[in-house]
A and B are shown apart, each in its own frame.
Chain A
């Protein structure tokens, strides 16, 4: 006669003998902690639950009660759209997928010993919580480098980047609305890689369009640290020269050296180094110039969010190198930690639509790892985004990225290529149109619904 204890022992031994390693894995907890609830973080949390049939436990740690979308925020800067269209909460993700939501900030990540691969400490108000997980996914977005200020380096920069949507978006909107009728709006673009390759050119266009209609004597000056327009070159060149030929000046190879501004004032001056490339591709300094602004919009260079820096997951570029099949860090001793979204270093553009796809690739790889399988060897990512160039016209940019090996260097990376023609790179719309502006609104709603509900 077998008692209950013996029965369980037999079951355990029998299971191990007959079914190892599957049964053993099934008994191991599959816990994932996601840090950051932006486009990438929200998506990975959702798909880990959806694609595992809710068998994987997912905790989403985010310090703010809702996400503020960077996508569409340029049309909030010009006052065309209400800032409320940018807000997305976490209620639907919690309700529809059973994701555990934790409002707080991660203060430490340590090896979890026998209790789990990683021990994560979260400070939530006055409470400190400890959670264990088998996989940790970091989606902290970016942080911005300080602006080099000439007048008082210690002063808190009054200069708005508005490149992280939120309070700065409406502050820049208000500064633009209050700008003198013959004022100059000066914006600076950092060297790539930065968040959203077409974004700064899109902003330049919609601001120039706003000024053309509301302050016809005002000007836009775009100081670009890059040597050329970084995305949708034909559409933005057309906009700069044709639509805004009278009120916008685009200056490539203009790198911010210092900024003179007074705390609390929107105006100031930007001094730039003017740089051209020589035949060897090296930077050659041609001189410096100062541009006076009635409204300053300096977008500084950025790097991966602080948690990535703190854990030593970023390289010299400031972003986190990852295996493109899983977005798992390639840093030694950090196995089981993944970095997704704008914080990761891949050949994919830093943009919301792409972050959503990267997150699904990461979720899929984690689920495969939980059943003892390697990540899918040849994933694809894609970008499909619309950019407004005025209050009625929009362009688009699209690419499908194949994860493949470079025949010369042997390095694996995401490469955009037309499989029919063999042409490399992304594809842009033939020309801006009102039909595309309308589709842009549909695309935005669709993408945000897919990410947040």
Chain B
């Protein structure tokens, strides 16, 4: 009985931890600013899928946009509006999502 109780407690603890992990995600919160145009979780948006895109590819594209004149494309001011650290968290989040 005691063993069973222990297992139930352990399961409960794991559930609580996974719930906490699921509920807290800094990268996801920052990346959610992309969802309006690139779709919920980077899928099915009007301007291209971001889910599952390689982090390096995305960072290269964003860094390229940061060097361009802000007013020449709507994405340039976006890339220029985040810090490099924030862009790293954002691209990390999208790159870890499964490819559609």
Chain A residues proximal to chain B, CB less than 8 Å: 2, 7, 10-11, 14-15, 18-19, 22-23, 25-26, 47, 50-53, 55, 353, 356-357, 360-361, 364, 367-368, 370-371, 373, 376, 379-382, 384, 396, 398-400, 402, 416-421, 423, 426-430, 439, 442-443, 445-447, 449-450
Contacts and interface: CB of A to CB of B under 8 A. Distances in A.
Most chain A CB atoms below 10 A, which of B9, B17, B86: B9
Interface residues of B, number: 44
Contacts of A376: 26, 29
Contacts of A357: 32-33, 36
B45 A450 contact: yes
Contact of A442 (B26, B40, B46, B80): B46
B93 to A, nearest CB: 12
Given A11-B9, A398-B77, A400-B33, A370 B23 contact: yes
Interface string B61-100: 0000010001110101110111100100000000000000
Most chain A CB atoms below 10 A, which of B29, B39, B78: B29
B3 interface: no
A380 B27 CA distance: 11
Given A51-B28, A380-B82, 10 more contacts: A19-B12, A26-B12, A53-B19, A371-B24, A373-B24, A380-B30, A400-B78, A418-B80, A418-B81, A443-B46
A382 B33 contact: yes
21 contacts: A2-B1, A11-B9, A19-B13, A47-B32, A52-B23, A357-B36, A360-B33, A367-B24, A371-B16, A371-B24, A376-B26, A382-B33, A384-B78, A398-B77, A400-B81, A419-B81, A427-B71, A427-B77, A443-B36, A446-B37, A450-B36
B45 A446 contact: yes
B44 interface: yes
Contacts of B13: 18-19, 22-23
A367 B20 CA distance: 9
A344 B72 CA distance: 32
